[in-house]
Amino acid sequence: MFTAGVLTASDKGAKGERADESGKLIALELEKLGYNVVEKIVVQDEIDEITSALEEMVDRGINLILTTGGTGFSKRDVTPEATKIVIERETPGISEAIRHFSFQITKKAMLSRAVSGIKKDSLIINMPGSPKAVKESMDIIMPSIEHGLEILLGLTGECARK
């Protein structure tokens, strides 16, 4: 069983002015898939707060860290920048897959600045901010993520089809 963490970047959520619906949905979907959700945190849209929370989850050895919020064009949307500070290697195909699929639903998907990448034994993926987009994105990427984590953690080394 892989461990998972959920980070929501939301000024209003961190102040208790808005319910964290997207983070809650991510955690529920991960649990349905058999992940052990060991961390769920809401932070303000501040690079230092986001990087600190991500680094802490990486240091705890959490295998999959999904963020939600802060990937748009607002001046306060800094989740991709914070993620880039933390990761050692980018995994652009994950974010590209989310954008590609989402673009079939809404042309506004091209405005997503989300990134994904690896640090140590952790895979970090920026997800959209809305619950609807989170669910759609998870439906697309999660079937492949388990295999990616197995490769990352050295549990398997085979990617080719048989």
Number of other residues whose CB lies within 10 A of the CB of residue 34: 10
> Is residue 62 within 8 Å of residue 122, measured between CB atoms?
yes
pTM (two decimals) = 0.96
For 65-104, how does the pLDDT look when each residue is reduced to its tens digit (9 = 90+)?
Answer: 999 999 999 999 999 999 999 999 999 999 999 999 999 9
Comparing C-alpha atoms, which of 3, 67, 9, 7 is closest to residue 37?
Answer: 3
Count other Cβ atoms within 10 Å, centred on residue 80. 20
For the stretch 93-151, pLDDT in tens is 999 999 999 999 999 999 999 999 999 999 999 999 999 999 999 999 999 999 999 99
HSE toward the beta carbon, residue 128, CA cutoff 13 A: 25
Q: Which residues contact 84 (CB under 8 A, 6 or more apart)?
A: 90, 115, 117
**What is the structure's pLDDT at 157?**
80
